[in-house]
């Protein structure tokens, strides 16, 4: 009994002491693993804890402010890590953001240094980023058109836009170790700056090793971001039934007929309807929804998905070593949904005209 009482006392005091431990101490890694603090330290630690709460957390600092930092080594290793031979000059330029150059100019102006007599030999990465941006967009579209030959051009553009978003590119750039190397004014580094830098790195690679190698880089690091994502959701399709009607009439099949397949709990909050779309008495697609209208729209979306061959059980993307042997048709252009709808309306209006004239 007594022993257990003592044990609980010791445990509770240890816990409270852990709580009282100052954050500044907790941030530093302690090398001697201490199990307890002496009673005399209690007041000191409590004071430190209060002070830390008053001051607040430390400001985030750049990695380059620490002593173990060598920019030359870091730049060299960046290329080696990714398995690419960059041209050192252009790679260095790729990490210089425009804001940094402006900041340096301002600093010089403040110090009273004349920029004309002592020029600032520092180019920013906007040119490289522009060329990288163009290469990435072109290649992503060519790749997607060849991998998904039945996908509409609008959908391909939206998938490409999703990949070229600042959010996606900054995620890739920060996970390739660009964040520490970037020279820019703001800290923490903004996603837009990170994405510009990633584009500039692609541009620098294109300069150093040619287009093919830069495209392989894009394929290996940007395209895997599509894994596990729904391509169809990236395309904001507002009237799927209209597109489906146009598609079916142009291919000479019957008009789509939505039919209620199953329903459950129709008068409850958890109502469920399954609507199937038939054409020529053949079931094209079916989908669930909370109301009949939602289910019908979802079924139409499902049908468009089937037309584009981007169902959930589609084969995976061709990536990695297999993708090196891919023969891409660069001039390929897929069918455009807008074009299909326009053709359908032209046809139908032509027919109605002939009916009225006759």
Give the torsion through C-alpha atoms of 91, 97, 102, 103, to 10 deg: -100
Q: What residues does 264 pair with on adjacent strands?
A: 272
Helices 191-209 and 211-221: crossing angle in degrees, nearest 10, is: 140
Q: Of residues 73, 111, 269, 270, which one binds another protein by CB under 8 A?
A: 73
Asked if 199 and 169 touch (Cβ cutoff 8 Å), the reply is yes
Which 22-51 residues touch another protein, going by CB under 8 A? 29, 31
Q: Of residues 164, 220, 249, 336, which one binds another protein by CB under 8 A?
A: 220
Q: Is 349 near another protein (CB under 8 A)?
A: no
| Residue number with CB closer to another protein (103 or 174) | 174
Distances (CA, A) of 8 to 1, 4, 257: 11, 6, 73
Q: How far is the CB of 7 from another protein (least distance, A)?
A: 16
Determine the Cα–Cα distance for residues 330 and 227; give it in Å rounded to an integer: 23
| Residue number with CB closer to another protein (67 or 269) | 67
Which 145-204 residues touch another protein, going by CB under 8 A? 171-172, 174-177, 179
> What is the contact mask toward another protein in residues 75 to 104, using x (rule: CB under 8 A)?
-xx--xxxx---------------------
- Pick the closest to residue 340 from 151, 183, 88 (CA basis): 151
Asked if 162 and 156 touch (Cβ cutoff 8 Å), the reply is no
> What is the contact mask toward another protein in residues 240 to 279, using x (rule: CB under 8 A)?
--------------------xxxxx---------x-x---
Q: Of residues 57, 89, 224, 265, which one binds another protein by CB under 8 A?
A: 224
- Pick the closest to residue 327 from 335, 336, 318 (CA basis): 318
Q: How far is the CB of 357 from another protein (least distance, A)?
A: 43
Burial of 112 (0-12, 13-18, 19+ CB in 10 A): exposed
Q: Which residues bind another protein (CB under 8 A)?
A: 29, 31, 67-70, 73-74, 76-77, 80-83, 171-172, 174-177, 179, 219-221, 223-225, 227-228, 260-264, 274, 276, 288, 312-313, 319-320
């Amino acid at each position: 009994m007594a022993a257990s009482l003592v044990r609980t006392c010791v445990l509770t005091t240890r816990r409270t002491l852990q709580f009282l431990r100052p954050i500044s101490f907790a941030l530093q890694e302690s090398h001697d693993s201490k199990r307890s603090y002496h009673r005399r330290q209690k007041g000191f630690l409590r004071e430190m804890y209060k002070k830390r709460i008053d001051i607040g957390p430390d400001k985030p600092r750049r990695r380059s402010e620490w002593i173990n930092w060598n920019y030359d080594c870091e730049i060299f290793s960046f290329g080696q890590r990714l398995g690419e031979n960059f041209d050192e000059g252009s790679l260095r330029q790729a990490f210089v953001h425009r804001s940094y150059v402006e900041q340096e100019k301002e600093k010089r102006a403040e110090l009273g240094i004349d920029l004309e007599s002592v020029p600032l030999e520092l180019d920013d990465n906007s040119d490289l980023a522009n060329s990288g941006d163009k290469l990435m967009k072109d290649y992503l579209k060519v790749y997607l058109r060849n991998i998904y030959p039945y996908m509409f051009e609008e959908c391909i553009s939206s998938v490409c836009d999703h990949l070229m978003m600042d959010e996606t590119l900054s995620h890739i750039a920060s996970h390739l170790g660009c964040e520490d190397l970037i020279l820019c004014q703001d800290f923490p580094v903004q996603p837009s700056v990170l994405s510009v830098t990633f584009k500039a790195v692609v541009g620098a690679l294109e300069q150093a090793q040619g287009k093919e190698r830069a495209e392989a880089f894009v394929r290996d690091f940007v395209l895997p971001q599509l894994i596990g994502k729904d391509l169809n959701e990236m395309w904001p399709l507002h009237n799927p039934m209209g597109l489906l009607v146009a598609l079916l009439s142009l291919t000479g099949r019957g008009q789509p007929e939505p039919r209620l397949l199953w329903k459950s709990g129709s008068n409850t909050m958890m109502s469920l309807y399954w609507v199937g779309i038939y054409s020529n008495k053949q079931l094209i697609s079916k989908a669930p929804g909370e109301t009949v209208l939602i289910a019908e729209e979802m079924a139409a979306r499902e049908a468009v998905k089937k037309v584009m061959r981007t169902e959930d059980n589609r084969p995976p993307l061709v990536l990695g070593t297999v993708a090196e042997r891919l023969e891409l048709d660069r001039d390929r252009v897929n069918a455009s949904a807008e074009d299909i709808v326009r053709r359908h309306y032209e046809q139908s209006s032509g027919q109605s005209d002939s009916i009225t004239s006759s």
